[in-house]
Amino acid sequence: MLTVSTVNVNGLRAAAKKGFVEWLAATGADVVACQEVRAEASRLPEHLREPDGWHTVHADCAVKGRNGVCLYSRIEPRATRIGFGEREFAESGRYVEMRLPGLVVASLYLPSGDVGTERQEEKERFMAAFLPYLGELRDKAAASGDEVVVLGDWNIAHAEIDLKNWKGNRKNSGFLPEERAWLGRVFDELGYVDVQRRLDPEGPGPYTWWSYRGKAFDNDSGWRIDYAVATPGLAERAVSAVVERAPSYDARWSDHAPLTVTFDWSPPA
Q: Which residues are catalytic?
A: 153
Which conformational region is residue 67 in: left (phi greater than 0), alpha (psi within -120 to 50 degrees), or beta?
left
The helix-helix angle for 118-143 and 177-188 (nearest 10°) equals 0
Q: Which residues are CB-neighbours of 11 under 8 A, at least 6 positions away?
A: 36, 37, 38, 39
Distance CA(78)–CA(52), nearest Å, equals 19
Torsion on CA atoms 52, 109, 267, 29, rounded to nearest 10: 40
Q: Do the Cβ atoms of 80 and 98 come closer than 8 Å? A: yes
**In the sheet that 147-153 helps form, which strands lie side by side, from edge to edge?**
79-82, 95-100, 103-109, 147-153, 226-230, 193-194
